[in-house]
Structure 1
């Protein structure tokens, strides 16, 4: 038993003099931390910020892009098809520069899944991002439905104009191009990052020009699922889920094959680093 001074053990005095805390204080602090730790954890706060950014970003991408479709169909082709293409490209570019530094500006479940597959994004956040993207799309689609008298002719979702196979093929191709560009400007340290948003926005615009009259140029499951749920129009919806996912995975894989590395191909295929795509493998 340690000797006491005025009823306080010398060990306790020693701990207090050295800047330590008493057992009672430790218990109190641990209980306080337990109450505040989860909600105020930096990880939880940061993840919540990312999710909110994805909801808001996806909302305005769908609101502006699909809104241009609705306005064009309901008000005598005032926006025009080129105007719709430019609108999609501009809104994606604007939102990339607005929240890209917060969440990465995915706005697209296919991009999120592909990023996680190639070790550019944590798998644990994938469900949260997909839920956020779908929520943003549904909210935007609901807003447009409340604002406009959306007839069947003015439907702002995506439907195959020809066969499902034709639309599937073109969705794979344009999604390939989109992810190929994203991989080049967004994940390669040699790229000029400041122009990444412009490159991605221009790619969206070009893809809508080419594929818009055929498939609607979705490239994004959330872009098609949101309007489908709100307007209860599910024809060919699987095309806009399967096509973009296959296309984005293929596009990322293709870029990783041509990405510069100082390792021989035999070593890349042996340890799988062409999939992992670590930044330290890419430095020249």
Structure 2
């Protein structure tokens, strides 16, 4: 059962909420800077060559490490979403209101765009690689993103959002980082392995290539929503959603 709650402006503009938005902006900026930066670094080291197996592993590891850190540094302030699909999945399960989640989205997307602008500047104008499908159709790319984002948000629920999970401490950000790295290894050659609309939208904006950006909104949001719905209903069960 969907537990969406709209929320109110008072809560969404409280001091705690403003701090949460800032935390999401900073953490997403740092995550995208490291993740996209690893792809730019590979391009520089290989004189613009295509991403090979070694490069794929390096990019996956960079994203896993950066997300582990990003979730860890923002967890106590904003929950450490860093991803509109995670925010949406948690909203479906009643863990955050739609209104507050919308401002999370703005902070996450702005963090990604600023990170890519900084990368373009510090790399002396090197091109920012944007996500796009390779060797598969757009619909197949959407399905790929649905599956891997489902895995990510399901992991978020299992390790961080389940009220019955007990004290697992640092395990949550480690598990979240690991599933992202593993999914990039599996999906990187096909869809890019985004799982994150903000991670894809920032490079698309800065590179000026928005032709396939819809894939990385539709797929991850469906996958994240399904994970929130299934884990929330089957494994958490009935509980009171955030107040509206």
- State the TM bucket, normalised to the shorter chain: 0.7 to 0.9
Q: 2:220 aligns with which of 230, 244, 250?
A: 244
The C-alpha deviation readout for 1:46-90, integer Å capped at 9, x for no partner, is 122111101000001100001001101121279722111111011
1:145 corresponds in structure 2 to 120
- Do residues 200 (structure 1) and 176 (structure 2) align? yes
The C-alpha deviation readout for 1:3-52, integer Å capped at 9, x for no partner, is xxxxxxxxxxxxxxxxxxxxxxxxxxxxxxxxxxxxxx9x6321221111
Task: Write out aligned runs for 1:161-240 (5 A).
Answer: 161=134, 162-191=136-165, 192-194=167-169, 195-240=171-216
Q: Could you list the runs of 5+ residues in structure 1 that have no partner in the other structure?
A: 1-40, 262-272, 280-284
Task: Write out aligned runs for 1:64-143 (5 A).
Answer: 64-76=34-46, 80-143=55-118
Q: For the pair shown, which has the larger CA radius of gyration, 1 or 2?
A: 1
Q: What is the TM-score of this pair, normalised by structure 1?
A: 0.73
C-alpha contact 1:157 1:223 (8 A) present in aligned 2? no
Name the SS of the counterpart of 1:215 in structure 2. coil
Partner Cα separation in structure 1 for residue 234 and residue 200 of structure 2: 31
2:8 corresponds in structure 1 to none
C-alpha contact 2:144 2:187 (8 A) present in aligned 1? yes
Q: 1:157 aligns with which of 130, 143, 158?
A: 130
Number of residue equivalences: 221
More contact order relative to length (CA 8 Å, sep ≥ 6): 2
The C-alpha deviation readout for 1:175-207, integer Å capped at 9, x for no partner, is 010111111111113324311111111111111
Partner Cα separation in structure 1 for residue 161 and residue 109 of structure 2: 25
| The 10-residue stretch of structure 1 (250-259 or 101-110) with the greater mean CA deviation from structure 2 | 250-259
Tell me by how many angstroms 1:260 deviates. Answer: 5.4
Partner Cα separation in structure 1 for residue 72 and residue 108 of structure 2: 17
Partner Cα separation in structure 1 for residue 67 and residue 225 of structure 2: 20
Q: Relative to 1, partners in 2 of residues 1:238 and 1:260: Cα closer, same or farther, differing over 3 Å?
A: closer
Name the SS of the counterpart of 1:227 in structure 2. helix
Partner Cα separation in structure 2 for residue 44 and residue 245 of structure 1: 27
Partner Cα separation in structure 1 for residue 126 and residue 191 of structure 2: 20
Tell me by how many angstroms 1:118 deviates. Answer: 1.8
1:37 corresponds in structure 2 to none
C-alpha contact 1:176 1:247 (8 A) present in aligned 2? yes
C-alpha contact 2:142 2:216 (8 A) present in aligned 1? yes
